[in-house]
Every structure is written in structure tokens, then in C-alpha cells.
Amino acid sequence: MNKTIDRSPSLKKVPLRYCPGCGHIIIHRLIAEVIDALNIRERTIGIAPVGCAVFAYDYFDIDMLEVAHGRPPAAATGMKRVRPDSIVFSYQGDGDLASIGTAEIVHAANRGENISVFFVNNATYGMTGGQMAPTTLRGQVTTTTPKGRETGTAGYPLHVAEMLAALEGPSLIARTAVDSPANVKTTRDLIERSFRCQLENKGFSMIEILSACPTNWNMTPSQSTIWLREHMMNEFKLGVFRDAGKANVTRG
């Protein structure tokens, strides 16, 4: 069999141990490809917190920093200010960024810190057992909402991209997904744009990436892809919500 693609140099030559159908595998690959394409590997520092995102330091062959739950934007701010020539990105899940780390992400964005944030949204706490997350959909069953999320007691799904896009500090805020070849390509393009924002000193950027979690959704990988398209994308619209100097638009 002819090899059609090689492992990116910015990924270690080890097997990834994420669950079958998990989007982290694809997203890792895309980030590594962009790092290599931009020739910034020796300058790049990745920051990951608690959650499934923490495994990133096992797979990226770059400098990585593990920090406390929710604190990557604060750590990235300090790292970038001390080492302004470095390319600093945080890699975070929704239980991390949208819950315990809400203050950090809001204020880093509002200050326009010159960092890149990659926010993986799978609408659940993946590592700790599938509990309700801030992004869990209305009516979605989790281990802590066995009858489905009720807005009267648990509130509504948190739309992070839209919230941050309302601030003046960010240069680029977008939401994409990794459910199809077309969206994977879009995701790669947006990841590259995020890094370029940093390279050009344009300030804060965040790419929210919708991703499946078949294990905690109690679905097969193929079922989870369908559910993501029919339910998550209906709640979390894909598109660019803030792009400094351009009109901001969304797409269904």
C-alpha cells in the first residue's frame, strides 16, 4: 500500500489514545500541519489544562506547558509577555474554557492578548465521566442530567464565540467543525489564520471547533457525527463572528 500522507514533524511518533471518533485526533493533526507549514515549530509553545486536552503534551513535539483547570489564557498571557517572539497557543475543552476558565478567557480576549486559542466544544465533560458542561444542549442527556438539561435550573448553552465577538479586543473569532472533509479544510484554514494573526501582532484570536464525543454521548462514531450535524450545529452556528477590518458574518 502506498503511503499518501506523512505524520507531521510537530507530532510525536506515538499512537494517539483518544476514543474512536474523537475529534481531538483530527484537530491535533491540523494544528501540527499549520505549525510545520508556517515553519514556527521552534518558536511555538502550547498550553493545555485538565481534561482530555491535557493529553496534548504527549503528542505535540513542541514545547508544552500543563496548567491548572481553566487557566491556559492566563498562563499564555504571561508566557507571551515574557517571550514576545514565541508563538503561544492554548488548547482547551468546553468544560475548561467555558466553565472554570470563563474569567480567564473573557479578560484575555478583552485585553486583546496576542495569543491563539483553540477551543474544542463537544458539549460535555469528556475526561471525568460525561457530566453536563456549559455548552450542553437543551434536553441533552448527561450523567448529571439523566432527564436532559433543563434551562429552568441549569440555564442555557453558553455561546462562547458570540460572547467574545462582542468585545473590542479580539482580532478573529470563529466557529467551525471537523465532521466532514469540507469543514476539516475550513478548520485548518482558520487555525492558520489564527496563527497568522499572532505572527502579524494583530492580537487575540479564538477558533471554536465543534467535535464529537461518541463515548460520553453513548453513540457510535458515525451516529455521533450525525448528531453533531443535526443538533450541535443547529445550536452553535458555524461562521466567522469577528474579523478585524472585515464584515462579520455567520453561516448555517
- Which helix (H) or strand (E) segment holds residue 210: the answer is strand 205-210
pLDDT at residue 3 is higher than 70: no
On average, the pLDDT of the chain sits at: 92
Per-residue pLDDT tens digits for 219-251: 999 999 999 999 999 999 999 999 985 645 444
Distance CA 165, CA 159 (A): 10
Q: CA angle, corner 33, sides to 30 and 38, nearest 5?
A: 125
186: Cβ contacts below 8 Å, ≥ 6 apart: 176
Q: Does domain 24-246 sit in CATH 3.40.50.970?
A: yes
| Cβ atoms 86, 44 nearer than 8 A | yes
pLDDT of amino acid 249: 47
Q: What does DSSP say about strands 249-250 and 239-243: parallel, antiparallel, or unpaired?
A: antiparallel
> The whole model's pTM is what?
0.94
For the chain, give every domain's residue range.
Answer: 24-246
pLDDT of amino acid 109: 97
Distance CA 201, CA 41 (A): 18
Amino acid at 155: G
Mean pLDDT of 6-15: 89
pLDDT of amino acid 251: 46
